[in-house]
Amino acid sequence: MTSRQDISLNFIETFVISSVTAVAARTLITPVDRCKILITHQAQFLKDGLISRPYKGFIDCMIQTYKYRGIRPLYQGNLAICIRHFPIHALNFAFKNEIKRMFKQNSNDSYSKIFLENFVSGSIAGALSVCILYSLDNARQHVYKDIRTGKIRREKGQLYRIMNAYKNILATDGIGGLYRDFLIVCVHDVIYRGCYFGFYDTLKPILLGQNPSFFLSFILGYSVTLVSHLVSYPVDTVRRRMRWDKIRSSRQYTSHVNCLFQIIRNEHISSLFRGANTWIIRSIPSAGFLAGFDLFAKIYLNIKDSRS
C-alpha cells in the first residue's frame, strides 16, 4: 500500500531528500571503493616507495592509508562521484513516488496487485531517468575517451569538456550518437528499477511494518538490491559484450538478441551471470539509498508536522 511519505512528499521534496541520501550513501562507501583501487595498484606503489609493505586487506589498507597519509586519500574523487550519481537516484525516487501516487493503492488491494503497481512505478521511473540522463553519460564517456587519446587536455574545465563532447557527437553522428545503445540500457534499468522499488515497497510493510528501524530497512534493502541486480544482470552482460564486440575487427554478434542466444548456446547460461558476485559489495550504497531515504523522509515529515 502507499506509505505516508509517498502521499505527503511532492516531487521537489522527494528529489531533494533522495539527493541528500545519495550523497550520504556514496560518501560512506567511497573509502571502500578507494581501498579497492589502492589494493589493485599496490604493486606500483611498492615500486615507487609510496608504501612500505603490501596491504593485507581492506581494513589494513584503510588503516595504513589513514595512518600515513590522512583521511583525504580515502575520499579522493568523492565529489565527482556524488555529482555523477545523485541525479539518477534523485530522479528515480521522485518519478517513482509521483507515478505510484497515480495508482491510489489502498489496504484492500491484493499483494500481487500492489507488487505489480510498485514494479510498474519503478520501471517507468527508471525509463524516464535514463531518457533524461543518458545523453549526459554518453557525452561523459566521450570525454574520458578523448582524454585517454590526448584529443583534449585534462586541464580544460569539466563543463567545457562536456559541451565540446556534445558538439562533436552531434556533428559526426547526429542526435542518434547521443543515444547509441540506449535501448539495451533502458531495458536493463526498467527491469532493475522495477524489481528494486517493486520488491522493497511491497515487502517493507509486510515484513517490517510501518515504522521499521534503519538497520532492518537496510537489511531488506540490501537483499532486494542483490535480487534486483541478479535478475537484471544478464541484460547488463549482453550490453557489455556488445560494446566490446563493436571495437573488434570482426563482429561476432549481429544484435543484442543474437548475442544473448549465442552466449547461452556456446558458453552456458551461467556465463550471463559471470561477475555478478561483485554486487555483494557494490549493493551496499543502493541499500543505503532505500533505507536512508526512509530515514531522512521520516525526519523531514516530523519537522514539517511540528511546524504546521
Name the more confident of 198 and 106.
198
Rounded-to-integer distance, Cα 225 and Cα 205, Å: 17
Lowest mean pLDDT among 10-19, 76-85, 113-122, 230-239: 76-85
- Average pLDDT value for residue range 149-163: 64
Contact 224, 115 (CB under 8 A): no
- Distance set, CA 188 to CA 13, 92, 152, 224 (Å): 27, 14, 32, 16
pLDDT for residue 276 = 83
pLDDT at 303 over 60: yes
Rounded-to-integer distance, Cα 119 and Cα 121, Å: 5
In 3D space, the residue among 117, 110, 11, 27 whose CA is nearest the CA of residue 76 turns out to be 27
pLDDT for residue 99 = 94
- Average pLDDT value for residue range 222-229: 96
Name the more confident of 149 and 275.
275
Confidence of residue 152 (pLDDT cuts 50, 70, 90): low
Return all residues near 213 (Cβ < 8 A) that are at least 6 apart: none
Phi, psi of 210 (to 5 degrees): -85, -25
Rounded-to-integer distance, Cα 118 and Cα 36, Å: 35
Rounded-to-integer distance, Cα 162 and Cα 139, Å: 6
- Average pLDDT value for residue range 131-142: 84
Rounded-to-integer distance, Cα 135 and Cα 147, Å: 18
- Average pLDDT value for residue range 274-302: 88
pLDDT for residue 282 = 79
pLDDT for residue 26 = 85
Confidence of residue 132 (pLDDT cuts 50, 70, 90): very high
pLDDT for residue 146 = 65
Lowest mean pLDDT among 6-15, 127-136, 156-165, 229-238: 156-165
Confidence of residue 205 (pLDDT cuts 50, 70, 90): very high
- Average pLDDT value for residue range 262-270: 89
Burial per residue of 233-249, b for 16 or more beta-carbon CB atoms within 10 angstroms, e otherwise: bbbbbbbebbeeeeeee
275: alpha, beta or left? (left if phi > 0; alpha if psi -120 to 50): left
Q: Which three cell numbers stand for residue 261?
A: 542466444
Say how many residues make up the chain: 308
Name the more confident of 74 and 93.
93
Contact 81, 26 (CB under 8 A): yes
pLDDT at 47 over 90: no
For the chain, how long is the longest CA-to-CA vector?
66
Q: Which three cell numbers stand for residue 141?
A: 564517456
What confidence tens digit (pLDDT) does each residue in 59-88 have? 888 888 888 778 888 888 788 778 878 899
pTM value surpassing 0.85: no
Rounded-to-integer distance, Cα 196 and Cα 232, Å: 10
- The mean pLDDT value of the chain amounts to 85
- Average pLDDT value for residue range 82-106: 89
Rounded-to-integer distance, Cα 145 and Cα 156, Å: 14
Lowest mean pLDDT among 9-23, 94-108, 211-225: 94-108
pLDDT for residue 204 = 94
Give ∠ CA 253-254-260 in degrees, rounded to 5.
55
Q: Which three cell numbers stand for residue 296?
A: 531522512
pLDDT for residue 46 = 78
- Distance set, CA 256 to CA 53, 194, 213, 235, 262 (Å): 46, 21, 42, 9, 10
| Termini Cα distance of the chain | 26
Q: Which three cell numbers stand for residue 84?
A: 555523477
Give ∠ CA 141-169-90 in degrees, rounded to 5.
50
Confidence of residue 107 (pLDDT cuts 50, 70, 90): confident
In 3D space, the residue among 196, 202, 211, 217 whose CA is nearest the CA of residue 109 turns out to be 202
What confidence tens digit (pLDDT) does each residue in 160-194 have? 677 877 888 888 878 888 888 899 999 999 999 99
Radius of gyration of the CA atoms of the chain, in A:
22
pLDDT for residue 142 = 74
